[in-house]
A and B are shown apart, each in its own frame.
Chain A
Amino acid sequence: MFVHTRSYEDLMSPEDGDVVSRSPEEGRGDQGDQTSMEQISKDFSELSTQLTGMALDLEEEMRPSQEDKMDLSLQTARRDSARSEKEDEDVTMEAWRMHQKHVFVLSEAGKPVYSRYGSEEALSSTMGVMMALVSFLEAEKNAIRSIHADGYKVVFVRRSPLVLVAMARTRQSEQEITHELLYIYYQILSLLTWTQLNHIFQQKQNYDLRRLLAGSERITDNLLDLMARDPSFLMGAARCLPMTAGLRDTVSTCLQQAKAKSLVFSILLSRNQLVSLVRKKDQFLHPIDLHLLFNLISSSSSFREGEAWTPICLPKFNSSGFFHAHISYLEQDMDLCLLLVSTNREDFFTVSDCKRRFQERLRKRGVSHALQEALRTPFYSVSQVGIPDLRHFIYKSKSSGLFTSPEIEAPMSSEEEKQRLLELYQYLHSRAHNSSRPLKNIYFTGPSENLLAWVTSAFELYVCYSPLGTKAAAVSAVNKLMKWIRREEDRLFILTPQTY
């Protein structure tokens, strides 16, 4: 369905991919294969202690900053008021420093483009320092990748004419933070195209890019929030809404028949889960591009009514041009969003008619009710698998670019526990994909859970068990789990991708 890709590696450009500098911390893992399990175990216990301290920090984060809002210029006052809370945040306050992850985007002239927290104006001198660091090393024909100090990782990504910097206190590897920064870069490209971005800075090196990005801060903010809680980005894959194969096929056929000349992709989704995707023959949608589309839709409630028509660049598909996306919800109270991607800016009415035809076909085939039913159960319970010790898993099929995972249930259903589980998966993922020492199998026994990771050329599997089981039981459970997935795959995945 998607382009066959090893998306994680793909994200790493050649210049970054060859060597990933190892931090002193990670250097400890270098003692040979036989000790790697012990190492993981040690890292995990550190992770657990680190995580217990998190609730406190979060509380601090929540506390509103008590600063005076009088000196807002007229222009800032007119900016996106939803962001004003963030914008107003005093960057000299401790609370600002305590954020888990800061993200900054600046131009090569050192001008601020985006900051996740606090106003860009207030941070212009900080960004100046960042640019100075980058330039200083470049003068020596070298490049700065990261700084590791005091529990922080400062990661730099250079994509001329932009510089992206993350400052994280999370346990993510440098590689994963780089991966997230590249998503931010692609997000900016999706708004402007690479061609336009370069053209602007060729014309005027000290251009204030915020002018063109005005109103998009919310989309970038949403992407960062989404990456912190949705495993799709970590997996580089999309999740499908579970439904019977028959229902999905009917919906896909309806979608496929409502075509137009200029349409490249027709996508039906529900809350970041894919229902159906139809594409033009020989055209593939990269998971990163799909994620950017998902993010765009989830970041604004303005699509709920009416029909939106907006230019969007899909940077992995073609970073030099815009597509035009028709975005609408099928029914107001139904979480079903239709996204029609067209090549022609002038084709609004034609594409709008495709939507009408699609809805008409759905009605004729009488699947609306079944579809509604499927929407009501967007997740399945892990108990369906029938393995008592199994708590949660993520299974990614590499060839389709799709993954599946059950609902996160007790005892991990609180927000903090969900976050912790994702961080555990992130950790396993980073160990498995460490570019200098990749691992195929990882098993870890921890105080609150046992985990297993298994990476092959066809799939990736990450499993979380209760802490009471044994390794042997976990391994045999994997076989049972794989059989279950095989049996359910026509419900959990899109097996027969459609083309127009």
Chain B
Amino acid sequence: MSGRAGSAAPAQNGGPAAAPERSPSLTQGYDLACKVMLLGDSGVGKTCFLLQFKDGAFLSGTFIATVGIDFRNKVVTVDGVKVKLQIWDTAGQERFRSVTHAYYRDAQALLLFYDITSKISFDNIRAWLTEIHEYAQKDVVIMLLGNKADVSSGRVIKMEDGESLAREYGVPFMETSAKTGMNVELAFLAIAKELKQRAVQQPDEPRFQIQEYIESQKKKSSCCSFM
């Protein structure tokens, strides 16, 4: 049985999500597999964010609504460990909620998006977090992302608003741009690092601080305005 099929077991049994799964690097091409879910309102840029990370390309022009959920893999290397990210890109529309709920509990990490040019998408973050607490694992890694940071004229949500909301819920936060690529890779790498750390952590080793890590690495939108 392949590594991926093996990881399906908890989903079928409805049991708790397993800790990031370790598997021999030789046969699978990775050391560790973990499930990451992209969440947020329709049109905040989840799919574009993923495409930027996977292919380094930005899909401009037409908006294509994701149908249901879309499943893709990407292997990243953190500190010499190959982590296979199984990424669930979800449709933001209300009618797909029931399907996405069904896959929440398998996720080890959630990237929660709003669009800095849309107040509604920001206001809905609280509702998303309530849903997450209801359906996801207790120890799930959550990261709040304010996307479309490259847009300066249409901004309606200040960076501080995002920061204070993130502080309130105790989740790491940064602004991103799927268009310029700002902080896109960092978001996934930070998640991969955190999950890798959880999987291989030695008792005496200090805990990886995802918050501090992204604070030290992230770029502010101001320094990217020339891009």
Contact = CB atoms under 8 A, between A and B. Distances in A.
A291 B146 CA distance: 39
Nearest to B118: A78
A346 interface: yes
Contact of B95 (A74, A191, A345): A191
B164 to A, nearest CB: 22
Instruction: Report, as a range, how many residues of chain A touch the other chain.
Output: 35 or more
Contacts of B69: 308-310
B11 interface: yes
Contacts of B99: 309-311, 324, 345
Contacts of A81: 62-63
Contact of A80 (B2, B65, B120): B65
B47 interface: yes
Contact of B8 (A211, A302, A350): A350
B222 interface: no
Interface string B84-106: 00000101111110110011000
A349 B65 contact: no
Contacts of A325: 68
Given A80-B65, A310-B67, A215 B5 contact: no
B223 interface: no
A411 B78 CA distance: 62
B42 A215 contact: yes
Contacts of B63: 80-82
A309 B42 contact: no
Interface in B101-150: 102-103, 115, 118-121
A303 B71 contact: no
Contact of A306 (B72, B102, B103, B118): B72
Given A212-B94, A215-B65, A311-B96, A306 B70 contact: yes
Interface string B37-74: 00000110001000000000000001111111111100
Contacts of A213: 95
A346 B11 contact: yes
B109 to A, nearest CB: 18
A39 interface: no
Interface residues of B, number: 38
Contacts of B7: 349
A353 B5 contact: yes
B220 interface: no
A73 to B, nearest CB: 11
B71 A352 contact: yes
A310 B120 contact: no
A192 B96 contact: no
B12 interface: yes
A350 B66 CA distance: 22
A305 interface: yes
A338 to B, nearest CB: 14
B198 interface: no
Given A214-B93, A214-B94, A218-B65, A308 B70 contact: yes
A235 B62 CA distance: 33
A300 B102 contact: no
A309 B8 contact: no
Contacts of B121: 78
Contact of B67 (A79, A211, A300): A300
B64 A308 contact: no
B167 interface: no
Contacts of A74: 118-120
Interface in A81-95: 81-82
Residue among A309, A327, A350 facing the most chain B CB atoms (10 A cut-off): A309
A387 B68 CA distance: 48
Contacts of B102: 345-346
B94 A296 contact: no
A75 interface: yes
Nearest to B65: A215
B207 interface: no
B29 to A, nearest CB: 15
B68 A311 contact: yes
A301 interface: yes
A119 to B, nearest CB: 16
B43 A302 contact: no
Contact of A308 (B67, B92, B98): B67
Contacts of B42: 214-215
A356 B3 CA distance: 13
Contact of A75 (B65, B103, B120): B120
Interface string B3-20: 011011001101000000
Contacts of A215: 42, 65, 91-93
Given A81-B62, A211-B94, A353-B5, A348 B67 contact: no
9 contacts: A82-B64, A302-B64, A302-B67, A308-B66, A346-B102, A348-B8, A350-B8, A352-B4, A353-B8
- Closest 7 pairs between A and B when the two form their complex, measured CB to CB: A310-B68, A349-B8, A215-B65, A306-B72, A82-B62, A81-B63, A307-B71
Given A191-B95, A305-B72, A307-B72, 11 more contacts: A74-B120, A78-B120, A78-B121, A82-B62, A214-B42, A300-B64, A300-B65, A309-B70, A345-B99, A348-B8, A349-B4
